[in-house]
Amino acid sequence: MSSTEQHEESSSDRLPFESVFDTVLSGWAFDRRVADGVCGPADLGAVRLIWLKNIGRDGVIATPDPAADDWRNDAPERLHLRAGDILLSSVVSGRPKAALVQEADLPAIAVSSLFVLRPAKPLSAEHARLILAFLRSDTVGALTAGYTFQRHLRRSQLKALELPNEDQALSAALADLAAAGQRLGEMAAEAGALAESVFDMNTSPEEARQRIIATGQLTRLRAVAAAQLDDPGFIVRTRYPYPIALRWRNVEVQKSADGQDDAQAKEYAAVLKAAETLLGYSALLTTALAHEAGITCKAIKAFKGKIATGQGGPGFGDWQRILQQIGAAEGMSKLPPEHPLHDLATLLADDEAEAACRSLGTKRNSRAHGREYLPAVSASKLNEAHDGLRLLLDRARFLADLQLLDVTNVVWDRHEQSDTITFRRLMGDHPVVPIESLRHAGPGRIATSLYLAGGDQGLHPLSPFLTCEKCEECATLSLFHADKEQGVLLQTSLDHGHCYQYRADEQALRAVGLR
């Protein structure tokens, strides 16, 4: 089978129910009046009865409780649950309940009001997560809409369903949401327990007051940090790639200097520079990823031509055209759905973003070519530029998930057949960040260079389209791209704008068509 055929096969988003589950069992409808099988959890052959009430809305089966649960030793062997089975409510109130049976839940048996779905082959954790989310959805719940007294799912309705296929990116997003929800729930429970302990019998009011103030400090700090995430500027400053985050911080600094001489003009210039950096960084990512994937478009060819043979380098319009054209480039449809190029293709994909980009480009060009008297920049023009930048930054929120990694050291383990990578994560508005490490098992070997870690779990090389090195002028770790001025090959920093004669590997430029 060719790689294209394999991708087309794996990218099908629906699977027939019976290709995933070969058995659907109804819960055990035992006679409660027969007490002979009732036993305790420690008795020989004891099996826990799992009722609908034991399954939470979050898909978690309640931990066995020897005192509160029902146990029997006469449950039919054929109905005993196995790890990997999925339990689904057959009686539905609102959305259906569904849960994955784990080894820790056994021995157990599902009783009436539950279906047992037994996979034809073991499901990966990621695929099981997607199927559970689908079974708990309104789509499945709506199958019972015609019933008024008790809403029941029928076995025939289940078997007619089409289930979601494996999707690593979606599954990872669901896992992250579940982990975040659990963590927030734990924090809320901790805060509640702390508040309820104020008047414990063995605690004096003075001791309780001191404990609440001291212990509650972390809870209050968590709440403050969480509230900051509702501020889009905070997200850009702390979670976006370094060049964009730094340029945005400069905008905020200039805004806070209101009242100083030329403050409005300086803020206006910072906004336009931030917009150009956002587009430049995104376009350079696009070009590097497209080169890796063997994809091109007219705008990318024109950009390469400017560096290779032209007198001048790329500008705002070049970045804009690359981002506008990449979505329609030949070969894009063959990329996996989680490939970062799909996100980049959405940045200027609607009329509102196009208009904002066009307006910012016009303002940038007028300023660059001396057609504006900057000290007299009007408040309305500044606000218009601000609004356009905020719109584009919001459209580019996916960049917070595309991690920029500067790999500084690689150690190959021939026994494990993997690289141990030491790197800096260049996210947020400061280039001095902690050193981290991870293990990478391929495909392909890793070099000490700049990479993008995407939602597809891959490491994508960005060099020589983007390089990371100390600036000769300010000694700050910076991101550079190849540039041209009057036919001289330069390297220009995205984050602070310093440029000088190209110092990196020109042979690498030739290899990708930039020389």
How far is residue 126 from each of residues 129, 176, 207, 282, 438, measured CA to CA in Å?
Answer: 5, 12, 48, 30, 21
Contact 426, 404 (CB under 8 A): yes
Query: For the ranges 88-97, 131-140, 194-203, 461-470, which has the lowest average pLDDT?
Result: 194-203
Parse the chain into domains and list their residue ranges: 13-166, 171-228, 242-398, 403-511
Concatenating the DSSP letter of every residue in 404-466 gives: EEEEEEEEEETTTTEEEEEEEE-BSS-S---EEEEEE--SS---SSEEEE-TTS-EEE-TTTS
Task: Kindly give the pairing relationship between strand 467-470 and strand 21-26.
Answer: unpaired
Please state, in angstroms and rounded to a whole number, the distance separating the CA atoms of residues 150 and 154.
12
Confidence of residue 12 (pLDDT cuts 50, 70, 90): low
Q: What is the CA radius of gyration of the chain?
A: 29
pLDDT of residue 2: 36
Please state, in angstroms and rounded to a whole number, the distance separating the CA atoms of residues 157 and 136.
15
Q: What integer best gives the mean pLDDT of the chain? A: 86
Chain centroid offset of residue 389 CA: 22
Task: Answer yes or no: is pLDDT of 197 > 80.
Answer: no
- pLDDT single digits (tens) 18-72: 999 999 999 998 877 777 889 999 999 999 999 999 998 888 899 988 888 999 9
- pLDDT single digits (tens) 106-152: 999 999 889 999 999 999 888 998 899 899 988 888 887 655 555 78
Determine what percent of the chain is predicted with pLDDT higher than 90: 57
Please state, in angstroms and rounded to a whole number, the distance separating the CA atoms of residues 110 and 282.
52
Contact 164, 15 (CB under 8 A): yes
Please state, in angstroms and rounded to a whole number, the distance separating the CA atoms of residues 448 and 426.
15
pLDDT of residue 209: 72
Can you tell me which residue has the tokens 């063997």? 294
- pLDDT single digits (tens) 214-258: 767 777 777 777 777 778 899 999 999 999 999 999 999 988 876
The interaxial angle of helices 316-325 and 351-368, nearest 10 deg, is: 160
Query: Smallest Cα–Cα separation from 211: which of 223, 219, 188?
Result: 219
pLDDT of residue 9: 39
Residue type, 16: P
pLDDT of residue 224: 72
SS3 label, residue 75: coil
pLDDT of residue 147: 53
- pLDDT single digits (tens) 396-434: 999 999 999 999 999 988 887 888 999 999 999 998 999
Contact 500, 473 (CB under 8 A): yes
SS3 label, residue 174: helix
Task: Kindly give the pairing relationship between strand 477-485 and strand 21-26.
Answer: unpaired
Tokens of residue 148, six digits = 């008024």
SS3 label, residue 27: coil
Q: What is the dihedral of CA 287, 291, 294, 296, to 10 degrees?
A: 30
- pLDDT single digits (tens) 449-508: 999 998 777 899 999 999 999 999 999 999 999 999 999 999 999 999 899 999 888 899
Hey, which bits of 208-292 come out as E strands?
Answer: none
How far is residue 433 from each of residues 250, 260, 425, 436, 481, measured CA to CA in Å?
Answer: 19, 33, 7, 9, 22
Q: Is 88 exposed, middle or buried (0-12, 13-18, 19+ CB in 10 A)?
A: buried
Q: Is 32 exposed, middle or buried (0-12, 13-18, 19+ CB in 10 A)?
A: exposed
Average pLDDT over residues 340-346: 95
Contact 428, 237 (CB under 8 A): yes
Give the number of residues written for the chain: 515
Please state, in angstroms and rounded to a whole number, the distance separating the CA atoms of residues 354 and 482.
26
Query: For the ranges 84-98, 325-339, 362-376, which has the lowest average pLDDT?
Result: 362-376
Q: What is the dihedral of CA 413, 414, 418, 420, to 10 degrees?
A: 10
Q: Which residues pair with 480 in a beta bridge?
A: 467, 493
| Counts for the chain of helices (H) and strands (E), in that order | 16, 18
- Asked if CATH classification 2.40.160.20 holds for the domain at 13-166, the reply, yes or no, is no
Average pLDDT over residues 309-326: 94
